Amino acid sequence: MSDQWKPTFSQKDFSLDKQETLYNGFFKMYKLHLSHKTFSGEKISIQRELFYRDDAVCVLLYDAENDAVVLVEQFRVGAYDSPEGPWLLELIAGIVEPGETPEDVARRESQEEAGTDIGEIVPIIRFVPSSGGTREYIDLLCAQVNSEGVEGIHGLADEGEDIQVHTLAADDAFALVKAGKINNAPAIIALQWLQINREELKQRWKQ
């Protein structure tokens, strides 16, 4: 069964032999020289370029009373060459600052990006979005919200943010995932999780 799987190796089965800094800005880029055990019982040495990003939090705001979700639309440089354009419909998100918990980030960013407070927060999963060459961990959460009056343009001007808030019926958001219109990993994962857990959240959060 899948829940009985565990990794063949652990932290003790590889070594970081050398690290070179290729770029050190808002993000970082390293060249890593590593050695690790192989499945055939040998040991190999490899070099990998690593894009290093700090831990982040993405939060899906769900209004159980109105069966609606709050999402945000903004320009994303990582999709600059998309045929549909680089404006994506996403979850509220932010980078974890020193001393913050994922829940702290979710509450801070919900105010900054959507102008709203949130209620109870339910963890979905902590995952690695692009393990082939990027070091980043995302805590994916779902939070209770009253979506009435949640609208407008938000974001921090000094960070170059220009964010449009959208409140959608949950079923409409699911349809956008199915149609490939919502095409970023955190939003896809969170909305599919909501499809599975929606009834439980309604029982938990409806007044």
In this predicted model, what pLDDT tens digit does every residue of 95-111 receive, in sequence order? 999 999 999 999 999 99
| 3-state secondary structure (DSSP) of residue 157 | helix
pTM over 0.75: yes
- 171: in domain: yes
* Residue 120 sits in the same domain as residue 25: no
Q: Over pLDDT 70: what percentage of the chain?
A: 99
pLDDT at 1 over 80: no
206 against 105, higher pLDDT: 105
Domain count, the chain: 2
| Res 174 pLDDT > 80 | yes
Domain range for 148: 56-205
Residue 2: the pLDDT is 61
The reply to whether 15 and 91 lie within a common domain is no
Answer yes or no: do 84 and 162 share one domain. yes
- Which residues are tagged catalytic? 159
206 pLDDT band, cuts 50/70/90, is confident
Q: Is there a domain that residue 3 lies in?
A: no
47, 70: one domain: no
Question: What is the average pLDDT across 29-36?
Answer: 97
Q: Distance between CA 106 and CA 135 in Å, rounded? A: 21
Pair 93, 46 in one domain: no
Instruction: Give the mean model confidence (pLDDT) for residues 151-155.
Output: 90
Report d(CA 20, CA 29) in Å as an integer.
9
- The answer to whether residues 48 and 129 belong to one domain is no
Please give the pLDDT value at position 202.
Answer: 95
> Are residues 61 and 36 both part of a single domain?
no
Q: How many DSSP H helices and E strands does the chain contain?
A: 3, 12
Same domain, 31 and 60: no
CATH number at residue 72: 3.90.79.10
Are 21 and 75 members of one domain? Answer: no
Mean pLDDT value across the chain: 95
Across the range 151-168, mean pLDDT stands at 89
Residue 89 tokens read as 């419909």
Question: Are both 80 and 103 inside the same structural domain?
Answer: yes
User: Does residue 177 form part of some domain?
Assistant: yes
Q: What's the pLDDT tens digit per position in 66-100?
A: 999 999 999 999 999 999 999 999 999 999 999 99
Q: What value does the mean pLDDT take over residues 118-123? A: 98
Cβ neighbors of 42 (< 8 A, separation 6 or more) are: none
